[in-house]
Amino acid sequence: MSSVRDYFETLDYGPAPEAADAAQAWLARHGGRFGHWIDGAFTEPGRHAFETVDPATGATLATVVQGSEADVDRAVAAAAAALPGWQALGGPGRARHLYALARQVQKHARLLAVLETLDNGKPIRETRDLDVPLVARHFYHHAGWAQLLETEFPDQEGVGVCGQIVPWNFPLLMLAWKVAPALAAGCTVVLKPAEFTPLTALAFAELAHQAGLPKGVLNVVTGDGRTGAVLVAHPGVAKIAFTGSTEVGRVIRERTAGSGKALTLELGGKSPFIVFDDADLDGAVEGVVDAIWFNQGQVCCAGSRLLVHEPIAEAFVRKLRARMETLRVGPPLDKAIDVGTLVAPVQLERVRRLVALGIEEGATCHQPSWDVPGGGLYFPPTLFTDVEPAMTIAREEIFGPVLVAMTFRTPDEAVEIANHTPYGLAASVWTDSVATALDVAPALQAGVVWVNASNLFDAAAGFGGYKESGFGREGGREGMAAYLVDRVERALPAYADAELAPPAGPSELGDEPSTGGGLDRTPKLYVGGKQVRPDGGTSYPVRGADGRHLGEAGWGNRKDVRDAVEAARKATSWAKASGHARAQVLYYLAENLDGDTVRFVDRLRDLTGADEAAARREVDTAVRRLFTCAAWADKWDGAVKGVPVRGVVLGMHEPWGVAAVSCPDEAPLLAFVSLVAPLLAVGNRVVATPSPRSPLAALDLVHVVEASDVPAGALNVITGDRDALAATLADHEEVAVHWYVGSAAGSAEVERRSAGNLKATWVNHGRRRDWYDPQQAEGRAFLRRAVQVKSVWVPYGA
C-alpha cells in the first residue's frame, strides 16, 4: 500500500471524475437540438444543422443551427428594436441587470463549468476554478461601470448594436469579455459563438432571460465562418468585436472598411517566456506549465517561445523535462488531470503537422515517456530545443501544447528575440530583480506583460495586443471606451464636395510669377530634421483664395514617404524622453509660433481669404492648442489597477511608434497642429501630410519647428496629394497608427489598406470638425487614440 510520501514523490492520483449530470439534464431538456436565441427565445432548430461533439470521446452532444442571412437579419432587428429601451434604462438601471447576470452565473456555476468542459475538452479544474469565476467577475465589474458611466464617461454613449464573434478556446469567458462591457455601455448584442463550442453561449442566453434581461438585448446566432461573415457585413451593426486568428482579423478589417463600424480585434500571438539567470527556476518551471500547457496550449497569449538565459539553460531544460513527466493527460472531467484534449480533429492535425515540420527543420523534440490516452483528441506536452529563430515552429502560432526553447546572453538580446515577431499580444518575464523586470517590460512590444507569472486575467485590467495581434482592449476603463462613442462625433456634418477638391497637379517651377513679395518657392519637404527636395523633382502650384499664385510645394511620392517613415522610426529619443522633456519642447514651439504671429496671419489671409481678425484667431488658437498638448505631455499617465490577486497591474500609456497624419484643407494651420501635437505630446514620431490646397502654412511652421528643439525625425512633413500619400502611408508596415481627415472614400481606402499590418486607424468618414471647438478638436478623445495601453502585472504586497 502506497504512503502519503509515495504520493508526493510520484504524484500518482486515482481518478476523480466530475459528474456530468447537470449538463446532460440541460441537453436532454432541449432534446439535444438547439435553434438560435433571438428576441428572448429559442428559434426552431431547423434543417441546416450541424453537430457539436465531445472531443474527449467523439460523442455527439447536440445539434445546432447553421445561421443564415435571414437569421442574422432577424437577430439584428431584435437587437435594434431593444436598443432604445435598453438605453433609456440609464447606467444604474442596466447595472442592476448586470449584477443579476453575475449572480446567475454563480448560481449555475457547475452546469456552466461541466458544459464548457464537455464542449471544449479543457480540464474541469480550469473551467471550474478560472473560467466561470472570471465570467461572474466580468459582469460584477461592468455592473460597476454601468453605474458610473454618466460621471466617468461624460458626453459619451453606447455605439449601438454590436456584432461579437468569439473563439472556441474560451467560449464562455470570451462571451463575458465582450457582452459585459457592451451591455454596460447601453449597447445591444448579436453574438456568434464558435461552431465547435456553441453550447455555453446558448445556456448563458437562457439564464440571462431567466434573470430578467429584456428581450432582444442579447441574441445568439450559431454557425460557422459564413454566419460570421454575414454578421460582419450587416449594415445594422455599429460595431464588430472579434477574437480569433490574425488571418480572419485581416479579412474583417478589409470588409468593414468605409462602413463606419467601430472595430476591435484580439488576434493571434507567439508570446515570449523570458527566464533570467537569477530567477527562481522551480517557480519558473511551474510558470511554463501555466503558460503553454494550460488549456492544451490553445491560448492566444500562450507562452509558446521559451527564452532562457544561457548560463542556466541546461539546468532549466532538465527541470522542465522532469516536470513534463509528471503532467497528467486524460479525460477532461477528471479533476486530477492537467491537460485535456484539443478541440477538434482539424486542430490536432495542425499541431501534428507543425511538430513534424519542426523535427524536419532540425529542432530536437522532447515528449514525456508515457503515451497519451486513446479515443480522444489528445496530444502530449511537447518541448523543442536547438531551435533557431527562423524556423517555422519559432514563427508560426501552433495553438497547441508545444513549446520552443531558445537561449539569450544579455537582456538586450532577449528583448530583440522576443520582439522578432509580427505578433505582440503578451510576454512573461521571470527574474528576482525588480530593476531587470521593470527595465525589460517597457521594451517588450506586447499588450500584456506578466512579471513572475503567466496567464493572469481580470476584468479591471485591459487585455489586447500590439502589432498584428490586433488593436483595442477588453477589460478596464479602456475596454469600456471601446463600446462608447463621443456624442459630438456623431453630430458632425458632412463635407461639401467643393471642400474636398484635390489640388492642382505637378508643374514646373517658374510657370507663373508670384505676387507674394519674394516668397521662397523652392519645393521642399521636411524629413529627418532637414528640408529636402522631393524625390520626383516636381512641385505643384499653391493658389490663394482669390486664385493668386502664392508659390510652390513639393509633390511627394512613395519614396518620400518611405524616407520620412524611416527617419521617424529612427527618432527613438523622442519616445524615450520624459513627458516633462516633451512638454518643454512643445511649450517652446508654442512660444516661437506666438512670436511669429504676424507672418502666419499674413500667410493665412493669402491662403484662405480670411480677414485679419479671423486669421489671427486661427494662429492664436493653434498656439493655445500647443500649450494644451504640452500641458498633457506629463499628465496622460495611465493608472494602477487593483486586481483580486497578489499584485497590481500598471496600465501604462505607451506611444504607438510611427504615426501617420493626413490633414484636411480647412483651417490649414490649426487642423495640422490639432492632429500632430497630441501625438507628439505622448511620444509618437509623426509623418504628416498637411492641407493639399494650403500646405504653405505647415511648411512655414517647419521653420518654427527647426528653431524649437524638436529632435530630427520626430516630425516629418510631406506635401502633395492627400489621398495618394495616405494610401502609401496606410500600406507601410512600419506605420503603427494612421489618423485621416478627408473624404469618405479616402477614409475607406485607409481602413482597407491598414489591414496589411493591422495598424490602428482613426478616420472621419467624410465628416467635418470645427477645429476651433475644444470639444471637437482637442482633449481626451485625441489623447486616448494617441496611445496604446500596456498592462504590466507586478507582484505586490503580502
Q: Closest Cα partner for 299 from 137, 429, 178, 126? A: 126
* Lookup result for grid cell 528576482: 432
Q: Are β-strands 787-794 and 648-655 bridged in parallel, bridged antiparallel, or unpaired?
A: antiparallel
Q: Closest Cα partner for 292 from 315, 322, 272? A: 272
Report how far apart, in Å, the C-alpha atoms of 319 and of each of 306, 394, 641 are: 14, 22, 34
Residue 220 has pLDDT above 70, yes or no: yes
Helix, strand, or coil (residue 207)? helix
Q: pLDDT per residue over 81-127, tens digit each?
A: 999 999 999 999 999 999 999 999 999 999 999 999 999 999 999 99
Longest Cα–Cα distance of the chain, Å, equals 105
pLDDT, average across residues 618-628: 98
Q: What is the pLDDT of residue 10?
A: 66
* Lowest-confidence pick of 143-152, 259-268, 513-522, 569-578: 513-522
Is residue 502 very low, low, confident or very high in pLDDT (cuts 50, 70, 90)?
Answer: confident
- Cβ atoms of 339 and 299 within 8 Å: the answer is no
Active site residue 162: no
DSSP codes, 357-419: HHHHTTPEEE--SSPPPSSS-----EEEES--TTSHHHHS---SSEEEEEEESSHHHHHHHHH
* Lowest-confidence pick of 51-55, 142-146, 358-362, 515-519: 515-519
Q: pLDDT per residue over 518-547, tens digit each?
A: 545 567 999 999 999 999 989 999 999 999
Within 10 Å of residue 555's Cβ, how many Cβ atoms? 25
Q: pLDDT per residue over 676-735, tens digit each?
A: 999 999 999 999 999 999 999 999 999 999 999 999 999 999 999 999 999 999 999 999
Query: What is the spatial distance between Cα 764 and Cα 767, in angstroms, rounded to a whole number?
Result: 5
Active site residue 266: yes
pLDDT, average across residues 754-767: 97
Is residue 798 very low, low, confident or very high in pLDDT (cuts 50, 70, 90)?
Answer: low
Residue in 157, 266, 478, 751 annotated catalytic: 266
Q: What is the pLDDT of residue 504?
A: 76
DSSP codes, 439-503: HHGGGS--SEEEES--S---TTS-B--SGGGEE--BSHHHHHHTTEEEHHHHTPPBPPGGGGPPP
pLDDT, average across residues 541-562: 94
The number of CA neighbours under 13 Å toward the Cβ of 334 is 15
Q: What are phi and psi of 636, to 5 degrees?
A: -85, 80
> SS3 letters for 367-379?
CCCCCCCCCCCCC
Is residue 509 very low, low, confident or very high in pLDDT (cuts 50, 70, 90)?
Answer: very low
pLDDT, average across residues 405-412: 98
Q: What is the pLDDT of residue 14?
A: 79
* Lowest-confidence pick of 7-16, 82-91, 355-364, 689-698: 7-16
Q: What is the pLDDT of residue 12?
A: 67
Is residue 17 very low, low, confident or very high in pLDDT (cuts 50, 70, 90)?
Answer: confident
Q: Closest Cα partner for 35 from 46, 27, 24? A: 46
Radius of gyration of the chain (CA): 28
Q: What are phi and psi of 568, to 5 degrees?
A: -65, -40
Query: What is the spatial distance between Cα 576 and Cα 734, in angstroms, rounded to a whole number?
Result: 18
Report how far apart, in Å, the C-alpha atoms of 736 and of each of 133, 663, 686, 784 are: 36, 17, 10, 15
Is residue 47 very low, low, confident or very high in pLDDT (cuts 50, 70, 90)?
Answer: confident
For the chain, give the percent of residues with pLDDT over 70. 96
pLDDT, average across residues 307-317: 98
For the chain, give the percent of residues with pLDDT over 90. 93
**Residue 632: partners with Cβ closer than 8 Å, 6 or more residues away:** 678, 681, 682, 783
Report how far apart, in Å, the C-alpha atoms of 691 and of each of 484, 550, 563 are: 30, 15, 20
Amino acid residing at 655: P
- Cβ atoms of 72 and 230 within 8 Å: the answer is yes
Q: How far is CA 248 from the centre of its chain?
A: 14
Q: pLDDT per residue over 226-247, tens digit each?
A: 999 999 999 999 999 999 999 9
Residue in 187, 300, 629, 663 annotated catalytic: 300
pLDDT, average across residues 473-494: 96
Query: What is the spatial distance between Cα 27 and Cα 53, in angstroms, rounded to a whole number?
Result: 13
Residue 510 has pLDDT above 50, yes or no: no
Sign of CA dihedral 57, 62, 67, 73: negative
